[in-house]
Each structure stands twice: as structure tokens, then as C-alpha cells.
Amino acid sequence: MAAAALLSAVLPTASPARAAAGSGPPVPARYAHQQLNWQPCAAKPSLECARMTVPRDWHHPGTGADLTVAVSRHRAADPARRRGVLMMAAGGPGASGLTRPAGFAARSPAVGAAYDVVSFDQRGVGSSTPVRCQTEAEFQDFYAHDFRDRSPAALRGVLDRSRQLVAGCLRRSGDLLPWLTTEQAVRDMDLFRALLGVRKISYYGPSYATWLGAYYATEFPQRVERAVLDSNVNFSGTWQDVEGGQPRSFQRRFEQDFLPWIARYDATYHYGRTAAEAKARWEARRRALRDHPLTVGSLTIGPNQLDSATIQNMYDAAPQFPQLASALSALDHWPSATPAERTLVRNVFGSYLSPGFAAAFFSVTCNDTPWRRDLGHWIRRSAEDTATHPLAGARALAYAATCALWPVSDAPRVRVTGKGLPTTLMLNSVHDPATYYEGAVAAHRALRGSRLVTVTGGGDHGQYQNGNACVDRIVNAYLLDGDAPDRDVACAAVPLPGPQGRG
């Protein structure tokens, strides 16, 4: 009852017309007075899980059926030194955060001893009320064919599949789609905070969760004690701008980090002794898969699957560069590939996203901020991206067209300023492919009072708990003792892995 009493006193909502925190009526009692029934998590018994009821639309909580948000908790390992709640979230948007506190606390035991580490599946995701857009077959077809094909028939096919995706979302989840926004999700977060019975939280969020955290901090600055934003999406701009910069950054990571790396280990992978030779070999493999796709069980590996696997393996060099290189090498001698190599190829080329992830990803990115609706513009823009930055640029039309065809959203705009916040810690590597450094710098400028830790000489996505002692030391000192750098600082990246990964 103490949590419920606290909630009714401190949890306001904002009207759609205003972004300022603290405006609007109090939370209705049916949400404010609910109790979280903590039980061992089915997927991770070391954690506690519960289900939280939230309104479909926080601005009109009496309209439409309620939603469920699945939440989790890892209790502080040292109750005598417990200093509060650390809320964390997952990236994407579309990834599950429910079981993440267990790994987070294990990798940073001092932080796990001092905080109750809590997380959740965002509305639309996983164990929360899910959004549904495509069947598995429809999802596979969306990524089939060849995104580099610029023939009129191929372009019509891309646009048709984007139309079908949007139509599938409306048919299967139309009454849910408008409310899958970051602005709605941060109000779910603040209800969770209040039901935990605390006035303030600390926060850790990587990738898209930096956008989520920045929005939360803007709407509820008085609820934030400390915040770490790791690998930053440019939350001061639009999703249209964010995704527009990714073709260049993924190409940069591929050409300046991965290709020189695989060439360095030509004796192991036999993929060329220079980056140029390795790139030529990769392009030759792509042409071969375009002309003769490879069937591995139920998996078909064509040119888009090569692109997707390469994109997915640009995020974290230590485990991913060796596994991608080994899979590429196996394709070169496929008739004689060992059972272990064939299993690796199935795993590397068959694990790109999922229908559920894609449904949540498009819902949030298409709803949060405006998109240009002119398909002709996106056809022209994607032609440039395909020519200059083809790794991710070739798929740009499929992504942009989906949001251009999405129902117009009236989600409130949130302008991130940093007003009223304590010092916020931001982390980013210079060659991050997904949350590129240029966007992180722009977000840092918008979030005044923040400190940016730049990881130089590297390109991993996710810096904390990634084996970089310099980064971990700064973050731990901040979370445990409140010691923030008095200016922006730099940490050198950890060395790239050898053929067998880090160590």
C-alpha cells in the first residue's frame, strides 16, 4: 500500500499537446493501486517477474483495452549496501529486456550488489502485449530477392512488400499500433518506478534504449538520479535522419574494420591478403548467391541473406568477426564443409531478426517522428545509397517505404534538452555501425550537461561490460559513487580479436 500511496502523489501524466513533465491529471486508481505479484521468471528463475497493467493510451486512459507490460527484478546482492533501483531497457526497438538484469548484475557484481536491477519488455514486445504484423513466411519474403536490383520490377516488388507489411500490421494489430511509441513507453516506465515504491531511479540503456532513456529523462527529470546512455541514437532528431545515416556507418565498419581484419588473417580464412582483395571476394560470393542461392535445410541463402548476416556481425568484433569470417570461408568450400561448419553457416545466416522484432521496430520508428511520404524521393535516395554504401544502403528503400506508407501518427514530439537533469554519462565508439558517432555527438550537444566518453580506435556497439577496463571504471564510479567526469573523456578501444575471438 505504501507504493500505491506514493504513486498517487508523484506520478503525473502529460497531455499530448505538451512535452513538459508534471502536466496532466493523476494516474487512475486502477493502475496506481495495483500490486506487482513477483514470481520466479520462467525463462530465468534467478530473476523475479511480474505483470503490470497499463492503459493503451496514457493521454486517454479510459479508452480501449488495457495492455500488459512484463517486468523483472534482480534484487541487490548486498541489502546492507543497497543504494536504490537501476532500471535498464533493451535496444531495437523490438528486443526483449525481461531477462537482461541477470546478465547485467553478473557482469558488474559491484553494481548488482548495490542496486535492484530491473527491466521490462516494452509494450508491443515479447512477454508484454505483443504487436503482430507478419507470418514467418511473409517475414522471410520481405528479406528475400535482391535489394540491390534496381530494375522497375524489383522496385515494384520492394514497395509491394512494404505495403503488405503495413497492411498486415493493420489487419493483425491495428487497434494497438498508434500506441506503440517511445512517448507512451516512458509513462509505462514511470508507473513501474512508482509501483516499486521509489521516488528516483538510475538508468542504463544501450542503443535504442538511449532514445527511450532520453525521453524518460525529459518527461520526468525529477525522477532521475543517474543515467548511462550507451551507444547513442541521435534522439535529438528523427528516425528518418537516424536511419538515413546508417548506410554510411555500416559501410565504414565493414570496409575500415572488418575487411582489413579478415585480410590480416588470410592464413586462416583464405579470403585475400588485402582489404581490397577481401572485398572483391565478398562481392563475388554475393553475385554467386544471387545467381545460385544456397539451400541449407529450410534456409535459403541469397544475396540479401549475405548482406543481413554481414550487417548483424558488424556490432561486436570479438565474437562476431571470427564467426562471420569462418562462415564466409565455409561457403568457399561448401561441398567439403564439415558438420560444424554447416551448423555455423545455418546459425550465422539464419538468425537475422524475427517477425516479432520487425513488427515492434517498424511500429516505434514509424510512429515516433514524422516521415516523408513521397515514395519517389525514397526511390531516388535509395539509388544513391545502393551505389555508394550498398551493405545497408540496398535495403534502405524497404525500410523507408514502410514508414512512408505507415498511417500518419499523432505521437507527441519530445524535445530533449537535459533541463533539470543531473550529469548524464554517454558512451560511444567512433566506428559504431548502428549508432554512429556523428549522431552521438549531436545527441550529446542536445542533452546539455552530459559527458561523452568516446571510445577511440574501435567500432563495437555497446561499450559498458564489453571488456574495456577504462569504460567500466568510469561507469562503475559514476553508478556507485556519483563520480562523473568533469569534461568529455576518451578511452582507447580494446584490441581487435584474433581468429579465435577475444583472449
How far is it, in rounded angstroms, from Cα 364 to Cα 429?
25
- Please name which of 154, 443, 99, 121 lies closest in space to residue 290, comparing C-alpha atoms: 154
d(CA 217, CA 186): 9
- The neighbour count for residue 138, using CB atoms within 10 Å, is 15
Distance CA 413, CA 370 (A): 9
Catalytic: which of 74, 389, 444, 461?
461
Q: Is 197 left (phi over 0), alpha (psi -120 to 50) or beta?
A: left
User: Distance between CA atoms of 122 and 89, rounded to whole angstroms?
Assistant: 8
Residues 6+ positions from 54 with CB-CB distance below 8 Å: 31, 66, 67, 68, 69, 123, 187, 188, 191
Residue with cell 559491484: 110
Among 128, 162, 202, 207, which one carries the catalytic annotation?
207
What DSSP line would sit under 388-401, residue for residue?
HSHHHHTTHHHHHH
Which of 200, 178, 186 minimizes the C-alpha distance to 235? 186
Tell me the one-letter amino acid at 464: Y
Q: What is the CA radius of gyration of the chain?
A: 23
In one letter, which amino acid is 56? Answer: R
Cα distances (Å, whole numbers) of residue 140 to 97, 304, 478: 25, 11, 44
For 317, residues 6+ apart whose C-beta sits below 8 A from its C-beta are 257, 258, 261, 458, 459, 460, 496, 497
Catalytic residue, from 121, 432, 460, 472: name it.
432
CA of 124: how far to CAs of 29, 72, 78, 185, 203, in Å? 23, 16, 34, 10, 21
**462 in helix, strand or coil?**
coil
| CA 111 distance to own-chain centroid | 23
- Residue 45: which residues within 8 A CB-CB, separation 6 or more? none
334 half-sphere exposure, CB direction, 13 A CA radius:
14
207 is an active site residue: yes
Q: What are phi and psi of 72, to 5 degrees?
A: -140, 165
C-alpha cell at 333: 568450400
Is-catalytic flag, 461? yes
Name the one residue in this structure whose C-alpha cell is 563495437: 460
Active site residue 146: no
Say if CB 306 and CB 285 are below 8 A apart: yes
CA distance 18 to 292: 55
Alpha-carbon distance of 406 to 362, in angstroms, equals: 9
Which residues carry out catalysis? 207, 432, 461
